């Protein structure tokens, strides 16, 4: 079988196709979502991808996220896409990926032996404690659990921070003899679901993000509006300016070249399909 490698622009085009399919599904079933992180910056600043970015992120309030996964499990989602999530196939991180199983990818961050497919990330939004102390302690635990639940897939030779490499050196050997990744995943999911949205005054993406900078008033994740992204209309938070400013500061200024980082994907068609 001959592999067809995709250019950087082709990768983004294929990711956009996944996002369009996801958006149409959410519209059909009245599911709330919004573009987030770098994808949201791209929509606001560029009306599309950040020029050097090769990633798409969306967020969903937990009740919509759970409904989405339930609809996927009932067989109502796209026939050409697949969803990876703990609730569906045992995927360990605490968020979901919508993948195209016909496009295999490899990132420098992960070991070459780890199978991956072209994706968009779907992050659930949960309540965050009103106590900054309790929330801070939780986010420190979350950061450690994040690492443990993917430690066996990470490439040690990638330029991770020294602190992360030390933790990898500690936990990777343990993961070879004990199921610590599964334990960390279960603990991470339990922490993420500790507070329902509405039980607290603020909410955010707990399992994989910026810590307390993720905490916003609950309504920021349900007040959405349409915005252009690569010639299509998708949902973004009405309060996008407050959110992006809290997360990134002056997000409208183009960062210097050494901060323009992508996932450095190598993508090919038909190299690993299901």
How far apart are alpha carbons 8 and 153 in whole angstroms?
24
Name the 3-class secondary structure at 24. Answer: helix
pLDDT for the residue numbered 1:
47
**Residue entry with tokens 């609950």:** 218
The secondary structure element, H or E, covering residue 137 is: helix 132-150
What is the rounded average pLDDT of the residues 37-64? Answer: 97
Cβ atoms of 208 and 93 within 8 Å: the answer is: yes
What is the rounded average pLDDT of the residues 89-97? Answer: 93
261: pLDDT strictly greater than 60: yes
The secondary structure element, H or E, covering residue 41 is: helix 37-41
CB within 8 Å of 145: residues ≥ 6 apart:
184, 185, 187, 188, 191
161: pLDDT strictly greater than 60: yes
Q: What is the dihedral of CA 71, 75, 76, 82, to 10 degrees?
A: 90
Cβ atoms of 126 and 62 within 8 Å: the answer is: yes
CB within 8 Å of 22: residues ≥ 6 apart:
33, 58, 98, 120, 122
Write down the domain spans for the chain: 4-269
Single pTM value for the model? 0.93
pLDDT for the residue numbered 110:
83
pLDDT for the residue numbered 2:
52
Query: Which stretch of 28-42, 43-57, 118-132, 248-262 has the lowest confidence by average pLDDT?
Result: 248-262
pLDDT for the residue numbered 273:
44
Look at strands 57-61 and 116-128 and give their pairing: parallel
What is the rounded average pLDDT of the residues 56-68? Answer: 98
Residue 124 token pair: 């659930």
| C-alpha Rg value of the chain to the nearest Å | 18
Inter-CA distances, 30 with 17, 41, 235, Å: 20, 24, 12
**What mean pLDDT, rounded, does the chain reach?**
92
Residue 80 token pair: 């050409």
Write out 160-186 in H/E/C secondary structure: CCHHHHHHHHHHHHHHCCCCHHHHHHH
What is the rounded average pLDDT of the residues 26-34? Answer: 98
What is the rounded average pLDDT of the residues 149-169? Answer: 85
Residue 235 β-bridge partners? 226
């Amino acid at each position: 079988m001959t592999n067809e490698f995709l250019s950087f622009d082709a990768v983004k085009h294929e990711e956009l196709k996944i996002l369009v399919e996801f958006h149409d599904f959410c519209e059909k079933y009245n599911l709330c979502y919004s573009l987030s992180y770098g994808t949201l910056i791209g929509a606001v600043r560029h009306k599309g991808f950040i020029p050097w970015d090769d990633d798409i992120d969306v967020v969903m309030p937990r009740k919509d996220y759970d409904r989405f996964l339930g609809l996927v499990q009932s067989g109502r989602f796209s026939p050409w896409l697949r969803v990876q999530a703990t609730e569906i196939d045992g995927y360990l991180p605490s968020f979901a990926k919508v993948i195209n199983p016909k496009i295999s990818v490899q990132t420098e961050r992960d070991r070459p032996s780890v199978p991956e497919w072209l994706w968009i990330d779907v992050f659930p939004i949960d309540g965050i404690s009103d106590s900054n102390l309790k929330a801070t302690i939780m986010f420190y635990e979350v950061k450690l659990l994040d690492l443990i639940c993917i430690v066996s897939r990470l490439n040690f030779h990638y330029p991770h921070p020294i602190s992360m490499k030390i933790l990898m050196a500690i936990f990777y050997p343990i993961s070879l003899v004990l199921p610590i990744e599964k334990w960390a995943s279960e603990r991470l999911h339990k922490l993420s679901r500790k507070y329902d949205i509405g039980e607290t005054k603020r909410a955010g993406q707990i399992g994989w993000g910026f810590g307390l900078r993720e905490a916003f008033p609950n309504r920021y994740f349900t007040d959405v509006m349409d915005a252009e992204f690569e010639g299509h209309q998708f949902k973004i938070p009405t309060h996008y300016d407050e959110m992006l400013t809290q997360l990134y500061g002056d997000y409208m200024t183009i960062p210097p070249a050494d901060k323009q980082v992508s996932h450095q994907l190598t993508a090919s068609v038909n190299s690993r399909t299901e």
